Structure 1
Amino acid sequence: MYLKLGILAFAGLGAGAVIAAGIFAFLAIIGVFPRLIGVTHTAEHVILYETLLILGGTWGNLADFYSVAFPFPGKFVLAVCGTAVGIFVGCLVMSLAETLKALPILNRRIGLAVGLQYVILAVAAGKAFGSAVYFLRGFG
């Protein structure tokens, strides 16, 4: 019985490690992290970025396994974490779109000469508004 549980635990942890490594490799390949480092001009802190990426991935995996109840400022912590995740997803989407050259194609198709930044801002504002309605109305 213990052998069966040990093999099952080893297989589950191994599969999780492979999937996590694949996700981080995907994010690195499409250029999310190098682009953020380049935009913020913080290349001298690469070791800090790597450490925080590893800690964030580990913390996210542990948070999936265990329910952690935050004390008094629980909603505040949830709002800060939600905002951070939203910013990260936005960076991921924009990096992926830029990798696929989707924005220049959109720009040519709709004949937009100037103002692409306003289109991006409108998409982001619509996403934020839709998310706020979704969570404030109790759907999530």
Structure 2
Amino acid sequence: MKSEKFQVKSPILGFDNVSEVSFAEVDDGALAFLSMESGAELLLINPYKVREYSFEVPTAIQTLLDMKSSSNVKVFCVFVREKEAEVRINFLAPIILNFDNNTLAQVVLNIKDYPNFGVAESIKNYIKA
């Protein structure tokens, strides 16, 4: 599992003082880890692997990440395991990574603009039986 360093351009919720993180993808890009200098770690999931997902990246974030239409960008959402079988995903605060310059930012989406996205949605809602 190859890890890359990313400069944080817009704070990650709960980790306001973190300026650099290590990012590592696993499981064909479906899952990833974001590791902080403090040893804290966020578990990430590629939202496109579990549901229809699209949002408008604010101009300020595009500028911070120096995003262009040709940029190599990936989007992940934070997920947490509450119980052994319960996984919840935050679709309202995606993390955008620009691999061209190794920068990242978290976007906090407004629930009024994205009523189909939740802060703690169960992954069970997206698993087809």
| TM-score under structure 2 length normalisation | 0.23
Greater fraction strand: 2
Structure showing greater radius of gyration is 1
Of structures 1 and 2, the one with the larger relative CO (CA 8 A, separation 6+) is: 1
| TM-score under structure 1 length normalisation | 0.22
